[in-house]
Amino acid sequence: MSNVRRPAVAGAFYPGQGPALASTVDNLLRAAQAQVNGSVEVPKALIVPHAGYIYSGPTAALAYAQLAAARGTIRRVVLLGPVHRVAVRGLALPGATAFATPLGEIPIDLDAVATLAHLPQVVTSPAAHAPEHSLEVQLPFLQTVLQDFTLLPLAVGNATPTEVAQVLETLWGGPETLVVVSSDLSHFLPYRTAQGVDQGTVQRILNLDGPIQHEQACGGTPINGLLLVARHHHLIPRLLELCNSGDTAGDKQRVVGYTAIAFTEPPHDLH
C-alpha cells in the first residue's frame, strides 16, 4: 500500500505549482552551470543549504550543477537533514513509500530501509518528517538533475557522529549512490560577524575537522558523521560557494549563512 509524504513547504520555500517550480529550478541550474568550469568530477557527497530558494537557491544550484555528468549513473540518493520542529533521538526514517513534490513522486528505497533495520539509532518517525523542510527543499533539484532514482531520507535528531557515520557506511555503495547533507551555517548574526564565523566553519569542514557545533551549522550532526566517513574514504572536499542571506535577498542585520561543498573520491590508482 502506498504511503506518500506530501510536501509541507511548497508555495513557501519554493513555488507550489509544478510549471513555476520547474522554471525556477531550471533557471537556477542554468545560472550555476555557467559558473562550472570545464569538466567536473562527480561528487560522492554534497553539503547543500536548505533555505527558501530566493535566499539559498543559487548556492544549492551550484552543488547540483556538479551532478550533470552523473545524470544516468546516480540511482539512489541518501539525504540527511536536521530536524527543525519535531525532536527525535537518532536518525528517523519517514515510514513512507514515496516523497511528493509539485514535480512528481520519488520512490523510497525500501531495500535500503531494510538494510538499516539492525541499527538501533535508526527509528521511524512520520511526525519528524511531516513538517520538515531541510530534506524537502532538496528534492526538486534532485528531480531535475537526475533521471530515475530512489530516495533514502533521514531526519537527523540527537545522534553522535559515529552513529551517523555507521548509517552512511551501511549505505555507501558505489557511483550509483550519492550522499547529500542539508545544512545552513550560522543563524541571525550581523553580516560581517557571520562572514567570519562561517569562513571558520567552512575551513574546518574542508580540513575534515569535526565536530561542527549547531551554532556553526544547523546540520552539524549529519555533517559530523559525513566528516568521519570522508576521512575514512579519503574524500577530497571542494568549496563551491560561501555566502549568506545578506548577499541574496535578506537584510544585513541578521543573516543566515549558506555553503555548497562537494566531496569527491580520490583517483583509484591512489588507493
The domain in which residue 48 lies consists of 4-177+204-266
12 within a domain of the structure (yes/no)? yes
Question: For residue 252, which of 189, 184, 198 has the smallest C-alpha distance?
Answer: 189
191 within a domain of the structure (yes/no)? no
* Residue 101, beta-bridge partner list: 104
* Total of domains in the chain: 1
pLDDT value at position 38? 65
Matching residue, cell 542539508: 182
- Residue 256 to residue 51: CA distance in whole angstroms: 9
pLDDT value at position 40? 76
Matching residue, cell 545552513: 184
- Residue 18 to residue 183: CA distance in whole angstroms: 25
- Residue 174 to residue 74: CA distance in whole angstroms: 9
Determine contact, residues 155/92, Cβ cutoff 8 Å.
Answer: yes
198 within a domain of the structure (yes/no)? no
Name the CA radius of gyration of the chain, rounded.
17
188 to 137, 170, 197, 252: CA distances (angstroms):
20, 36, 12, 9
217 within a domain of the structure (yes/no)? yes
pLDDT value at position 1? 60
* Residue 107, beta-bridge partner list: 98
Walking along the chain (271 residues) 10 residues at a time, the average pLDDT comes out as 91 98 98 82 96 98 96 97 96 98 98 97 98 98 98 98 98 98 97 98 97 96 98 97 95 96 84 48
For residue 165, what is the domain's CATH number?
A: 3.40.830.10
50 within a domain of the structure (yes/no)? yes
79 within a domain of the structure (yes/no)? yes
Residue 210, CB-side half-sphere exposure with 13 Å CA sphere: 22
Q: Where are the beta strands (DSSP E) in 125-254?
A: 150-156, 177-182, 187-189, 236-244
| pTM assigned to the model | 0.97
pLDDT value at position 35? 87
185 within a domain of the structure (yes/no)? no
- Residue 166 to residue 25: CA distance in whole angstroms: 33
194 within a domain of the structure (yes/no)? no
